[in-house]
Structure 1
């Protein structure tokens, strides 16, 4: 398998935003923005962004890179 992506500035890609569900919100009124870029070996590759605020979410398998701002996460149960 070969993966070929163009070099992009992830901070300038337009995203589709939705409000975080109230039951998942822990602070503020956050929204999440997404844009799928590619699929590789059964995994989706894309951009995910969260506006200021807090939320709880569980992902089984995920890799992320913070490109701007800051993030914190933990493994405590909901």
Structure 2
């Protein structure tokens, strides 16, 4: 967990994240790297920051609500009943555990997430 203190602001745009390549079995296009930093735990809920560089990758989601801080992406829900989502700064998205998604990141995406 990243060292933060109650009552002290954190610049989420400048927060350094350790990144690594997205696992090859998840990558469809490009060579994206991703990283995350857990910032706080409130009960059993984690609050953190996540980032991914441009590329296309799939994922199986956890229960999460996030707000995009910077960057742009298209999130395709591999369940055909859900529409594709275009996200950018200020977008709020709710994902539920088990959703299959395809992320097409066109500008390095950074989000703050709340996950349980």
| Short-chain TM bin | 0.7 to 0.9
In the alignment, which residue of structure 1 is the partner of 2:73?
71
- Counterpart-to-counterpart distance in 2, 1:60 and 1:38: 17
Which structure exhibits the higher relative contact order, with contacts defined as CA atoms closer than 8 Å and separated by 6 or more residues? Answer: 2
* Corresponding pairs, count: 75
Which structure carries more strand by proportion? 2
Pairwise CA RMSD of aligned residues?
A: 1.6
Instruction: Give the unaligned 5+ runs of structure 2.
Output: 1-5, 80-99, 101-116
CA offset digits 1:5-31 (Å, max 9, x no partner): 533221100101111011100110001
In the alignment, is residue 46 of structure 1 matched against residue 10 of structure 2? Answer: no
In the superposition, the TM-score normalised over structure 1's length comes to 0.83
Mark the runs of 5 or more structure 1 residues left unpaired by the alignment.
none
- Which segments of structure 1 move beyond 3 Å, counting only runs of 4 or more? none
Shift of 1:66: 1.1
TM-score (norm 2): 0.58
1:6-60 per-residue CA deviation (whole Å, 9 max, x = no partner) reads 3322110010111101110011000101111001120111100001111100113
